[in-house]
Structure 1
Amino acid sequence: MKVWNFGLIGCGSVADFHIEAIRQIEGARLACISSRNEEKAKAAAEREGCEWTSDYHILLARPDIDIVCVTTSSGSHASIGVDVLRAGKHLVIEKPIAMTAADAELLVQTAKQCGRKLSVISQRRFEAQHQAVKRVLEDGAIGKLLLAEISLPFYRSQQYYDSADWRGTIAEDGGALMNQGIHSIDLLLWFAGEVGSVFGKLATQTHRMEAEDLGLAIVQFKNGAFGTIMASTSIQPGFAASINLYGERGTIKLEGSSIVHWTVPDRPEPSWIHTGSYGGVTDPRSIVSDYHQSQLLDVIAAIETGIEPLVTGEDGLRAVQLVEAIYKSAAESSQIQL
């Protein structure tokens, strides 16, 4: 059996989930870790029994590395990701794929030119309840989709934003939509399809930061359905994200990792309808690595079979395009066509 050698660029808090996921995959090996912070890189490498470097170009020059996970701050995703792909490595990049649609498009095109796989971490697609809902929607079991609502009433303290100078900046981190809300936005697009137009509003209500801590939008999808988006990091004490899907024949409501309402003709309620753990409401580290593992396994399978991964670079691009359109709409107080 082939051993898939991984490289990891970035030793921030999210890197731990990638490291744990790789550790749990049979036939996968973490070969090298890179971070500008030599102390962090060395400590992580010693713990995992792998090599380390403070220059990621040295990591990319290694012929034994097949797949590289980029877990650096969001503003560096595009430039590092392009270097990874041009070095001939497959790329798994943390969300968001990039901070602008133009940079996201560059990553997508570079992956195609280099013949490499590109996947953006959207691990919530791999949760059982979301897989079940996707099948129901694809089968048309709730009829024509009328309305899809996503709500992310999270809380982050001022201390969280003050912990690094890039946090809460538009260029390097993004606000409640681009940072915390991007997972819910990805699920919204996965469930409801492509967006035709959007009208958005932004506010920074409770934090000292450049980006928004409240983002709102009304969306019309190309299939005729409507959608609403709310993402915030100002809601105390913080609550689980929710998704409501209303069709002409039925309704599904999800909260956190549970299905809390299921009206689907001729489809029994899934057995996990009121179960499952959910994290990240107030602490971004309070999640599990299980679904990162599922996504990395999916990427390996895509490389082996030549098919596209479940989450592609194009998926990441569409999510950023929608957030960018909300920003533009809020700035111009106008509806934006996508």
Structure 2
Amino acid sequence: MAQWRFGIIGCGAVADRHVEAIRQIEDASLVAVSSRSGSRARAVAEREGCDWVTDYRDLLSRDDIDIVCVTTSSGSHAAIGLDVLNAGKHLIVEKPMAMNARDARLLADTASRRGLTLSSVSQRRFEANNQLIKRVLDEGALGKLLLAEMKLPYYRSQDYYDSAEWRGTIAEDGGVLMNQGIHSLDLLLWFAGDVRAVFGKTATLTHRMEAEDLGLAILQFDSGAYGTVMGSTSVRPGYPATISLYGEEGSIELEGTSVVRWSVPGWEKPHWSQEEAYGGVSDPMSIVAEFHQSQFLDVIAAIETGTAPLSSGEDGWRAVRLVEAIYESARRGAEIRIGEQPEEG
């Protein structure tokens, strides 16, 4: 098997999960890291025994790096990710893949045109319960899907938003749906399929920031099923995200990583749970690297076999497109038919 050589652009807190995931893959190595902060890049490099640079273009110019992880602030994902792809490197980009559907589409199209693998980080797809739920739905065990509900009652303090100038801004961070809610929205799309129409409402109720701390939406899926979305960073003390799925033949409710309700004919309720795997309820970094590792292994397998990864650029684009449609609906005060509005930034 090939020795896969990684580079990481961005040495903030989430980069530590990427570093740990790479460290745990036998046939992978971290070659170099980049950060605008030389002290931060040097600290990671000295700890991991790799090279470091302050200009990520120096990292991209190396011919001993195959896969690049982009773990910078959200607003820079699209521009840096495009540079990665144009440098001929495979790309793993943290969520959200871009801040608007147009840029996400450009990333996905560029990767396809250049024959490169692009994966948007959605590590929750690799949790055992979510894999099982997807299988149950694909096999039709719930019957016709009627309703899919997502709730994300999180808490973030004002200090969290004040900790960096870009936090809480529309251009660089996004609000609760684009930032904290993107993982649950990705799962909702994975489980229930594409959305054809949305009606959204957003508000900023408890924080001093530009973006929303409350987002709501009613969805209609291509299948004809309906959906509801609620995301907030104002709910004290914060509670696990939930997804509820209701079909003609049964229902499932997922709370955090635990299945709390399971009525699936012919299928035994799973008991797997790993709450520390997906925290983020009030502490954004209370997550483990295990499922980043699973996603990286899936990316490596996709490159080796020429197949699409489980969380592809197309999937990242769909999630961003949904959030953008909710925002546009809230702005207009009207239902948005997805695919009919132009993908503008």
Residue type of the alignment partner of 1:209 = M
CA distance in 2, matches of 1:255, 1:229: 15
Matches within 5 A, 1:120-269: 120-269=120-269
Residue type of the alignment partner of 2:161 = Y
Q: Which residue of 2 aligns with 1:69?
A: 69
Q: Which residue of 2 aligns with 1:48?
A: 48
Give per-residue Cα distances to partners, 1:191-242, cap 9 Å, x unaligned: 0001010000000000000000000000000100000000110000000000
8 Å contact 2:259–2:271 — kept in the other structure? Answer: no
CA drift at 1:276: 4.3
CA distance in 2, matches of 1:65, 1:77: 19
CA distance in 2, matches of 1:155, 1:239: 8
8 Å contact 2:147–2:247 — kept in the other structure? Answer: yes
CA drift at 1:271: 3.4
Residue type of the alignment partner of 2:244 = N
Q: Which residue of 2 aligns with 1:296?
A: 296
Q: Which residue of 2 aligns with 1:99?
A: 99
Residue type of the alignment partner of 1:120 = S
CA distance in 2, matches of 1:270, 1:276: 15
Q: Which runs of 5+ in 2 are unaligned?
A: 339-345
8 Å contact 2:176–2:232 — kept in the other structure? Answer: yes
CA drift at 1:189: 0.2
CA distance in 2, matches of 1:74, 1:177: 13
Percent identical: 67
Q: Which residue of 2 aligns with 1:17?
A: 17
Residue type of the alignment partner of 2:295 = Q
CA distance in 2, matches of 1:276, 1:20: 19
CA drift at 1:267: 1.0
Q: How large is the RMSD of aligned CA atoms in angstroms?
A: 0.8
Matched position secondary structure for 2:95: coil
Matched position secondary structure for 1:176: coil
8 Å contact 2:36–2:55 — kept in the other structure? Answer: yes
Q: Which residue of 1 aligns with 2:78?
A: 78
CA distance in 2, matches of 1:144, 1:227: 14
Distance 1:118 1:331, change over 3 A: same
Give per-residue Cα distances to partners, 1:98-150, cap 9 Å, x unaligned: 00111101101110111100000000000000000000000000100000000
Q: Which residue of 2 aligns with 1:31?
A: 31
Residue type of the alignment partner of 2:177 = L
CA drift at 1:275: 5.9
8 Å contact 2:153–2:241 — kept in the other structure? Answer: yes
Matched position secondary structure for 2:177: helix
8 Å contact 2:168–2:209 — kept in the other structure? Answer: yes
Q: Which residue of 2 aligns with 1:5?
A: 5
Matched position secondary structure for 1:17: helix
CA distance in 2, matches of 1:327, 1:129: 30
CA drift at 1:14: 0.6
Per the normalisation by structure 2, the TM-score is 0.97
8 Å contact 2:251–2:262 — kept in the other structure? Answer: yes
CA drift at 1:2: 1.7
Matched position secondary structure for 1:29: strand
Which runs of structure 1 show a deviation greater than 3 angstroms over 4 or more consecutive aligned residues? 274-278
CA distance in 2, matches of 1:125, 1:194: 16
Residue type of the alignment partner of 1:287 = I
Q: Which runs of 5+ in 1 are unaligned?
A: none
CA distance in 2, matches of 1:280, 1:324: 23
CA distance in 1, matches of 2:114, 2:84: 10
Residue type of the alignment partner of 2:124 = R
Per the normalisation by structure 1, the TM-score is 0.99
